[in-house]
């Protein structure tokens, strides 16, 4: 299995080089796009206890200061991106980098192979994007996807508290959203609604969000199928490694992340970008 993975790995790097090539070809537009950095807030970081992912005997992890975009990336912003980076247009992305659902909510806009979001949905969060596409988008912006720990640190905030993960009212509110099927009319414009303690909007209640290391928590070897850790998320086993057994909301986010593969494009998964602070 290990050898097979190496082959896949080199295969990926080759694809990655091609992406680089496209960047060069669209250098002007790319620069324009990169400069359009969305508004961000600075998260000061600190120590906290994520639900999973800590080594044995460690109860807290350090999150270093970083910047996070205030709202999830919208259809409109992603449309600009794919116009500048043709390889990320619907219909051109290889299955290895996204499954067939990629941008499947966009409409054909007349020209062969050109797809765009409906005008009424331009400010909705972009969904049906794979991890690879989200990763490439943030890279083009000069940023990256937030790590799980960064996202969890920032997302633990309610409107009034930096860490509300033990506030029953906050947790119940999240559960109510997590429990509601996506349906057709569940989306609204990004930015609508109350900001949380850090000034971030729509961290909950609109879409799930990709993280840079979304399934690394369970990866110990070169393949998660050979790891015992995965079973932690099933049945009673999930309670054994968890920091706070009553944080059902966090369980659900970790479960969702762990069900994903990097080429999945889902109806309710979007993303926002993060930036290093130097």
Partner 1 sequence: MLRRAVPIVLSLAVCGLMPITANADLPVEEAVLTDAPNVPPAIHRSRPAKVIVHLEVREVVKNIADGVQYTFWTFGGSVPGKFIRVREGDTVEFHLANHPENKLPHNIDLHAVTGPGGGAASSFTAPGHESQFTFQAINAGLYVYHCATAPVGMHVANGMYGLIYVQPKDGLPEVDREYYVMQGDFYTQGAYGEKGLQPFSMQKAIDERPTYVVFNGAVGSLVGDKAIKGNVGESVRLFVGNGGPNLVSSFHVIGEIFDNVYTEGGTDANQHNVQTTLVPAGGSAIVEYKLEVPGTYILVDHSILRTFNKGSLGMMKVEGPDNKAIYSGKEVDSSYLSELGDLEKKAAKDSEAPKAVAAKAPVTKDELMTAGKKVYASSCLMCHQANGEGLPAVFPPLAKSDYLAKLSGANDRSALVSIPAKGLSGKISVNKADYNAVMPAVSGLSDSDLAAVLTYVTNSWGNSARPFSVDEVKKAKDALAQAKK
Per-residue tokens: 49: 């206890």
- The stretch among 25-33, 70-78, 155-163, 244-252 that binds partner 1 (CB under 8 A) is 244-252
Per-residue tokens: 267: 């109806």
Q: What is the DSSP letter of 168?
A: H
Under rule CB under 8 A, residue 20 binds partner 1: no
Binding mask 184-223 for partner 1 (x = CB under 8 A): x---------------------------xxxxx--x--xx
3-class SS of residue 41: strand
Under rule CB under 8 A, residue 224 binds partner 1: yes
Closest of 208, 206, 204, 210 to residue 189, by C-alpha: 206
Q: Return left, alpha or beta for 235; rule: phi > 0 is left, psi -120 to 50 is alpha, else beta.
A: left
CA distances from 149 to 170, 205, 243 (A): 19, 19, 13
Q: What letters, b where the CB count within 10 A reaches 16 and e where it falls short, cover 133-153? A: bbbbbbebbebbbbbbbbbbb
Candidates 27, 64, 246, 277: give the one binding partner 1 (CB under 8 A): 246
Binding mask 158-187 for partner 1 (x = CB under 8 A): ----------x--xx--xx-xxxxxxx---
Pairing relationship of beta strands 274-276 and 208-209 according to DSSP bridges = unpaired
Closest of 133, 125, 129 to residue 74, by C-alpha: 125
Under rule CB under 8 A, residue 18 binds partner 1: no
Q: Which is nearer to partner 1, 118 or 219 (CB)?
A: 219
Under rule CB under 8 A, residue 255 binds partner 1: yes
Whole-number minimum distance, CB 90 to partner 1, in Å? 16
Q: Which is nearer to partner 1, 114 or 222 (CB)?
A: 222
Separation between Cα atoms, residue 129 and residue 105, nearest integer Å: 10
Under rule CB under 8 A, residue 110 binds partner 1: no
Separation between Cα atoms, residue 63 and residue 180, nearest integer Å: 31
Pairing relationship of beta strands 208-209 and 269-270 according to DSSP bridges = parallel
Under rule CB under 8 A, residue 54 binds partner 1: no
Under rule CB under 8 A, residue 254 binds partner 1: yes
Candidates 8, 25, 118, 277: give the one binding partner 1 (CB under 8 A): 8
Query: What residues line the site for partner 1 (CB under 8 A)?
Result: 1, 4-5, 8-9, 12, 96, 101, 131, 135, 144-145, 147-149, 168, 171-172, 175-176, 178-184, 212-216, 219, 222-225, 230-236, 238, 246, 248, 251-252, 254-256, 258-264, 266-268
């Amino acid at each position: 299995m290990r050898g097979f993975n190496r082959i896949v790995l080199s295969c990926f790097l080759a694809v990655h080089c091609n992406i680089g090539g496209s960047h060069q070809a669209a250098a002007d537009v790319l620069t324009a796009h990169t400069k359009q950095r969305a508004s961000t807030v600075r998260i000061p970081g600190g120590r906290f206890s994520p639900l999973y992912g800590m080594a044995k005997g460690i109860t807290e992890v350090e999150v270093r200061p970083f910047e996070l975009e205030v709202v999830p990336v919208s259809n409109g912003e992603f449309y600009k991106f794919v116009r500048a980076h043709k390889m990320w247009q619907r219909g051109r992305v290889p299955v290895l980098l996204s499954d067939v659902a990629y941008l499947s909510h966009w409409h054909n806009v007349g020209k062969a192979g050109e797809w765009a979001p409906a005008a009424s949905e331009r400010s909705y969060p972009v969904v049906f994007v794979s991890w690879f596409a989200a990763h490439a988008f943030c890279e083009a912006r000069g940023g990256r996807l937030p790590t799980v720990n960064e996202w969890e640190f920032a997302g633990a905030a309610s409107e009034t508290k930096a860490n509300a993960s033990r506030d029953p009212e906050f947790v119940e509110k999240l559960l109510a959203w997590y429990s509601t099927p996506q349906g057709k009319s569940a989306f609204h414009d990004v930015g609508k609604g109350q900001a949380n303690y850090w000034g971030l909007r729509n961290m909950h209640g609109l879409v799930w969000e990709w993280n840079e290391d979304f399934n690394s928590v369970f990866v110990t070897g070169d393949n998660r199928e050979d790891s015992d850790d995965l079973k932690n998320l099933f049945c009673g086993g999930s309670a054994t490694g968890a920091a706070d057994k009553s944080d059902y909301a966090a369980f659900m986010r970790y479960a969702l992340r762990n069900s994903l593969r990097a080429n999945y494009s889902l109806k309710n998964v979007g993303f926002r970008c993060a930036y290093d602070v130097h």
